[in-house]
Structure 1
């Protein structure tokens, strides 16, 4: 036919509009995409696959894959494509560069999962992201929820955005992990991990997006008590506390969330800078075993 081109006459493919290498399906409007027909090993070894995966991660904040029967070494190798891994977590077992989040009937006093948080916000340089693989999961329960905190910031009323512009806050390792420990050990942990100060609204270093950056382990604003904000004591306390609680509560809005049902060898990869997550603690006394590679991040600004 006249309209058909011979193979050598085919127009070149536009690199900017080339078909995607990875089959992907969004799971909610604002956050979460599942990847299909690809393994972490393939992505780790292929620069083009990794570049596409990273672009999807920056856009969709958290990616999911199923049936990833990989070794710990392969898990670590994939995570290290994003950057070096954090030092061992001080409150969980570690092996081969992975944090072992193993929960069973004997570990109930140490659960600490059921709070919206971003990982290691209690460090001066909180985690950039994480790769979490499910080793064993209950038949029912044990889901994880992730939240898009970029969208949470975008939807704030303008007067709130103005009020929190320039505010900074502290987050504490002690509030999350120290409360159930003996006082002497709690004080040792406090000395080892002094509460860092971070902006209430941080800027994503790669996308430039503004992110609401307070969560369940944020304790207080450090620069709220100024003549612009405080006239009387009740303006500061409970006034500043009410504002902080309001900001923290934004993570609980369902429209910003995606919920993932774990199966054995399923994996989540998330951008820890722009998200929070919540491990749903509804499975006790069933066993839930997860292994996480945590990637070093930068100083929030």
Structure 2
């Protein structure tokens, strides 16, 4: 079990550091394939460097980390997230009034939220996100769970005949299918100029673990960029239908329960996940009850 030195100073606070506390965090796997509950840790406390390194390695290994009873401030959430890198500012979602790095997620009693689609955050960026840190502020008594999916396993367990078809294949990712409908025509035009469509490998490599990852998602992946290079074409629809069939087959891999884990939210639960190797799906089975979340997202690297 890893040993940690925690400096008793609330992240984002101005008070002087208190006495150092010796502690250790526990790791309790959620499924054999993805996720772990992390205990005996306070994310509102400034972690020493060794603890931080151990926590990052645990994230890469388990891909999703669940922390319970984390009654921390928005400033502390931002400070914790910044330990992992520069934070994103979302161009569409509402933001916390004091911390624009925090996205405010959730509808209200008149309008349900719309995150119930399999996706990886910010895959539409040239440098997709490294990780997201989501804290539950308010959640319904029943329902509102979130699923996470191990996309390393989704790739590893593909038939070899499919894997061979994916070699060198690139996919186009676009924020407009998910967010364009929320904008005016003028806003769509401006957003398109700022965030053009991007290409990523269909099978990307994790920059820390070296794992191969199936990297397409139904929220942002629109088509393959170079599908025609990989086969002979008799007539046009041969190419188009084969491309659509393959893409739909790959998108369905995220729906396989054996690759998934599920979190039941409680107030002050924080979940951190590796966006490079996972997808997630926020179940909308609780409307008109309300679920409110704050999310920080860390910018990642170019895919390869």
TM-score (norm 2): 0.88
The answer for the alignment partner of 2:19 in structure 1 is: none
Could you tell which deviates more after superposition, 269-278 or 95-104? 95-104
Q: Does 1:90 align with 2:91?
A: yes
The answer for the alignment partner of 2:188 in structure 1 is: 186
Q: Does 1:236 align with 2:221?
A: no
The answer for the alignment partner of 2:160 in structure 1 is: 158
CA distance in structure 1 between the partners assigned to 2:224 and 2:217 by the alignment? 12
1:287 deviates by: 0.9
Return closer, same or farther for 1:18/1:190 CA change in 2, 3 Å cut-off.
Answer: closer
CA distance in structure 1 between the partners assigned to 2:154 and 2:195 by the alignment? 28
1:227 deviates by: 6.1
CA distance in structure 1 between the partners assigned to 2:95 and 2:143 by the alignment? 25
Is the contact made by 1:112 and 1:177 (CA closer than 8 Å) also made in structure 2? no
Q: Does 1:262 align with 2:293?
A: no
The answer for the alignment partner of 1:114 in structure 2 is: 116
* Aligned residue pairs, count: 281
Q: After superposition, where does 1:20-39 map in structure 2 within 5 Å?
A: 21-39=24-42
CA distance in structure 2 between the partners assigned to 1:184 and 1:241 by the alignment? 31
Alignment equivalent of 2:213, drawn from 211, 214, 226 = 211
Moved over 6 A (4+): 17-20
Q: Does 1:223 align with 2:232?
A: no
Is the contact made by 2:165 and 2:230 (CA closer than 8 Å) also made in structure 1? no
1:24 deviates by: 1.4
CA distance in structure 2 between the partners assigned to 1:271 and 1:114 by the alignment? 19
1:18 deviates by: 6.8
The answer for the alignment partner of 1:101 in structure 2 is: 105
Larger radius of gyration: 1
CA distance in structure 2 between the partners assigned to 1:227 and 1:145 by the alignment? 34
TM-score (norm 1): 0.89
Q: Does 1:81 align with 2:83?
A: yes
Give structure 2 stretches of 5+ with no counterpart: 5-23
